[in-house]
Amino acid sequence: MLIKNFVVGFVNTNCYIVGYERTKEAAVIDPGFNDDEGKKILGGIKNNNLTIRYIINTHAHTDHTSGNKILKRETGAEIVIHKNDAPLLPEPWKGFLEMIKLQKITPCPACGSQSVNLKVFENKEKAVLKCNECGFSIDLLASPPADRTLEDGDIIEIGNYKFQVIHTPGHTSGSISLYCKEEKILFSGDTLFAGSIGRTDLPYSSAEEIMYSLKEKLMTLPDNTLVYPGHGDVTTIGKERKTNPYIHI
Ligand SMILES: [Zn+2]
Ligand SMILES: [Zn+2]
Ligand SMILES: [Zn+2]
C-alpha cells in the first residue's frame, strides 16, 4: 500500500494519500491544507500519476476538510464522509454558532478560554473564530457538500484494497475510522492518537461515546494493527491498549 503523510494546516493535521500501487488509484484522507500546501500535494499527485477517486473526511472539522474544495476542483474526486457529519461540511461553524446562541461554553481550540468571537462572512465561504484571551484565530472554510455519505460497515475500495468504515462517534457524532483488514492498517482520525484520544469539549462531542468507540470498536482490532492518526505519530493498537492513559480496559 502506498501511504504518504503530509503534516498540514494550523494544528498539524496528518493528511494521507493512500494508493494502490499497480493501478495508481488513490484517495486523500483529511485534506486539511491551505492553498500553498495544496499546490505541493497536487503536484505530488500529478508527478506520481495518481488518480484520486475519493476525498475521505474522517470527520467534519475544518482542520481535516479545508482542502476539499481545491482538491475536488483539481481531481474531480468524490467527497465522502459519515452521514452525521455531512451537514457540517458547507457550514463548519454551525456548532459554534449554536453554542453561542444557547450561551453554552464555546471554548477556544488553542487555550480553552470561553471568550471567543465568531464572524461568518456574507458569502458563506468561511467564518473566523477568534479568541479574546490568547488572540488565536482560525478560518473555518466551507467545503462543497458530500457526494456520498457513509455508514458503519460501508466499504471504500481503493484499487484492490478494501477499507471498512467503522463509525467511531465521540470526538464528533460522525467521526469514522477506516480499517483495512488484509493489511492491518487503521486510519483513526481524531478518535485515537498515540498516547491520547480526541477532544470531547467541542460542539457535537461526547466523552461517553468516544470511550465506547475506543473500547468496544477500536480496541477489538488485532494488536499488530498499524494506526495512522489524524494528528501525531503512527502507533499500533497493541501499544495503545497497554500504554494509553485514557483507555482503561
Ligand atoms: Zn477534530
Ligand atoms: Zn485562546
Ligand atoms: Zn483534527
- pLDDT bin (cut points 50, 70, 90) of residue 61 is very high
Tell me how far the alpha carbon of residue 25 lies from the centroid of ligand 3, in angstroms.
25
Tell me how far the alpha carbon of residue 108 lies from the centroid of ligand 3, in angstroms.
14
- pLDDT bin (cut points 50, 70, 90) of residue 135 is very high
Q: Are 175 and 59 a contacting pair, CB within 8 Å?
A: yes
Ligand index nearest the alpha carbon of residue 63:
3
Lowest mean pLDDT among 154-168, 199-213, 219-233: 199-213
Q: What is the DSSP string of 41-105?
A: HHHHHHHTT-EEEEEE-SS--HHHHTTHHHHHHHH-PEEEEETTTGGGTT-TTHHHHHHHHTT--
Ligand index nearest the alpha carbon of residue 114:
2
Ligand index nearest the alpha carbon of residue 117:
2
Question: Looking at residue 31, what DSSP letter applies?
Answer: -
Q: How many Å apart are CA 102 and CA 196, to the nearest integer?
A: 30
Specify the pLDDT at position 105.
Answer: 61
- pLDDT bin (cut points 50, 70, 90) of residue 89 is very high
Q: How many Å apart are CA 19 and CA 47, to the nearest integer?
A: 14
CB neighbours of residue 239 within 10 Å: 14
Tell me how far the alpha carbon of residue 239 lies from the centroid of ligand 1, in angstroms.
22
The share of the chain scoring above pLDDT 90, in percent, equals: 79
Q: What is the pLDDT of residues 11-59, one digit of tens each?
A: 899 999 999 999 999 999 999 998 889 999 999 999 999 999 999 999 9
- What number is the average pLDDT over the span 199-216? 94
Higher pLDDT, 93 or 157: 157
Q: Is the pLDDT of residue 249 over 70?
A: no
Tell me how far the alpha carbon of residue 157 lies from the centroid of ligand 1, in angstroms.
24
CB neighbours of residue 117 within 10 Å: 13
Ligand index nearest the alpha carbon of residue 172:
1
- Nine-digit cell string for 98: 449554536
Q: What is the pLDDT of residues 139-168, one digit of tens each?
A: 889 999 999 999 999 999 999 999 999 999
Tell me how far the alpha carbon of residue 42 lies from the centroid of ligand 1, in angstroms.
23
Specify the pLDDT at position 110.
Answer: 83
Which residues are found with C-beta within 5 Å of the ion, ligand 2?
A: 108, 110-111, 113, 131, 133-134, 136
User: 2-87+145-243 adopts what CATH topology?
Assistant: Metallo-beta-lactamase; Chain A (3.60.15)
Map out the domains of the chain as residue ranges.
Answer: 2-87+145-243, 91-141
CB neighbours of residue 101 within 10 Å: 8
